[in-house]
Amino acid sequence: MTEHEIRYGLRTRVIGQSIEIYSRVESTNQLALRRGYAGAAEGTIVLAEYQTAGRGRHGRVWHSPHGSSLLASLILRHRLLPNQLGIPSLMGAVSITNALRELLNLPAMIRWPNDVLVCGKKISGVLAELDYDQNQRPFFIVGFGVNVNIASAEFPLSLRSSATSIQIEFGRNVSRVSVLRAILHHLEEIYSNLKLGSTAPIIDCATDLSTTIGKKVQLETLDGSFNGIAERIDAEGKLTLRDQSGRLHLFSSGDVVHAEDCV
């Protein structure tokens, strides 16, 4: 994957202004945070062929074989309001889901808050991180990993029943560059809403693409496990669960487990 290949046919104005590609890094999010701290331009994207310490949500590790996936971290400099902190990860999940649907016709859906699933198996994950640069200007990173050309046997046994890749679902290898370009186009479009101060279109898209809403779910959180019907994603990106006694509970993070994911 080269910068030249990515730029060819990329019609974004903000996203991908600067593209950095590495063969091996600890974590593209970690490197992007460093770049952001040092003042890198809005729209800078850091990509790697391999991560030695890829970061997942809740301190988990994100692992992909060398050269098989998209491992990307985008730096954006919009000042988020306190009630918009859940928006960056939704933006990532919506953009990836729409890209997989449009480009490859895959029935991708979002498991709240930001896992992208195809027929119940995880094909992509998003990790958003927020910080301030050395001039106290806020920025955030939208980091995403997409399993592109990974065969089933290449996933560790422990993930084989819960993870998938584009190669597995689409039936053949696809160009990582074309998938990346499609994601960046969607990110640019959806980010323009946030820049205009409007998060409703992002929430609406995340709700439309959600495989969680309307389902009976179990939510694993740091405070324990909750069961209920997932009713809606609120304006801040939080999940509303209605428990058996009819009471509503609001969650800003957690791992959702649902029985049936295939559309």
- Concatenated DSSP letters for 96-112? HHHHHHHHH---EEEET
Site string for ligand BTN, 58-97 (x = CB under 6 A): --x-x--------xxx------------------------
Q: Which residue is nearest to ligand BTN (CB)?
A: 125
98 interacts with ligand BTN by CB under 6 A? no
Of 14, 50, 57, 104, the one binding ligand BTN by CB under 6 A? 57
Helix (H, G, I), strand (E, B) or coil at 184: helix
Of 12, 16, 28, 68, the one binding ligand BTN by CB under 6 A? 28
Separation between Cα atoms, residue 47 and residue 45, nearest integer Å? 6
Cβ count within 10 A of residue 98: 20
Of 12, 16, 27, 74, the one binding ligand BTN by CB under 6 A? 27
Smallest distance, ligand BTN to C-beta of residue 156, A: 15
Count interface residues toward ligand BTN (CB under 6 A).
Answer: 20
At position 83, the amino acid (one-letter code) is: N
228 interacts with ligand BTN by CB under 6 A? no
Footprint on residues 165-204 left by ligand BTN (CB under 6 A): none
Q: Give Cβ neighbours of residue 142 (< 8 Å, ≥ 6 apart).
A: 73, 74, 76, 88, 89, 91, 92, 126, 128, 187
Task: Identify which of residues 120 and 201 has a Cβ nearer to ligand BTN in the complex.
Answer: 120
Site string for ligand BTN, 115-144 (x = CB under 6 A): x---------xxx---------------xx
Tokens of 45: 């994207």
Separation between Cα atoms, residue 226 and residue 103, nearest integer Å? 36
Nearest to 124 by CA among 199, 49, 58, 64: 64
Smallest distance, ligand BTN to C-beta of residue 128, A: 9
103 interacts with ligand BTN by CB under 6 A? no
Of 36, 43, 54, 86, the one binding ligand BTN by CB under 6 A? 54
145 interacts with ligand BTN by CB under 6 A? yes
The half-sphere exposure of 63 on its side-chain side, counting CA atoms within 13 A, is 7
Task: Identify which of residues 55 and 185 has a Cβ nearer to ligand BTN in the complex.
Answer: 55
Smallest distance, ligand BTN to C-beta of residue 224, A: 20
43 interacts with ligand BTN by CB under 6 A? no
207 interacts with ligand BTN by CB under 6 A? no
- The CA dihedral of 94, 100, 103, 105, to the nearest 10 degrees, is -120
Residue 113: cis peptide before it, omega within 30 degrees of 0: yes
Phi, psi of 29 (to 5 degrees): -65, -45
**How would you classify the pairing of strands 45-48 and 19-22?**
parallel
**How would you classify the pairing of strands 45-48 and 69-76?**
antiparallel
The residues of the shown chain that bind ligand BTN, judged by CB under 6 A, are 27-29, 51, 54-57, 60, 62, 71-73, 115, 125-127, 143-145
